[in-house]
Amino acid sequence: MRATDVLLKPEECVILLVDFQAGLGFGVESMPRQIVVNNAVALARTAAAFKVPVIASTSATRVYSGPLLPGLQEALPSVKAIERRSMNVWEDDTARNAVVATNRKRLIIAGFLTEACVSFPALSALKDGFEVFVVGDACGGLTPQSHEFALRRLEQAGARLTSWIQILLEFQRDWTRHETYEAARAVVEANGGGYGMGLAYAREMIHPG
């Protein structure tokens, strides 16, 4: 296998966003909630920039958890969340079949809560032969410890841990790829903290000639 074959390509991937809802977000203590939400929105905007299909799933929207978070709805206006009852997305035929129907075997997962609604479909998808990538900084757990333990279990089971910025940079790969440059740069500037600040500064201050 060539070295480039191990890197993610947009055309090989599908993204699964699980239970990004306020009712579950209230319980997130693994890192500041606003950071997790920022990272989730950045991942969603990355998917849109690189035309990667996104499956979003929610649960208990009317009785507890609420709708998909507004930032994700804004980033993915054409994506309608699939409502389900099971904690495990993979046990919901509609949601699982939506992932399978993309015919893409590299599955990128993020969501609330790491200990359950992220872990369960990740483990199930691994069993079904998917190559699973868990975006650890776009997942929220109940405590730092339980979030970390869940990620460790997923890694031991064969999942790959990554971050939203690594996904974006892996997709872009080369800043001279003009077809996605502007969209990718915009995501980094809006959601990338100091790195995004640096890109914005360079764009404004460094001029050729």
CB atoms within 10 A of CB 34: 9
Evaluate the omega torsion of the peptide bond into residue 68 and state whether it is cis, within 30 degrees of 0.
Answer: no
Active-site annotation holder among 41, 117, 139, 142: 117
Instruction: Give the residue among 76, 164, 89 at the shortest CA–CA distance from 119.
Output: 89
Q: Are 82 and 58 in contact (CB under 8 A)?
A: yes
Cα distances (Å, whole numbers) of residue 130 to 4, 79, 103, 105, 109: 19, 22, 11, 5, 12
* 117 in active site: yes
Residues annotated as catalytic are 117
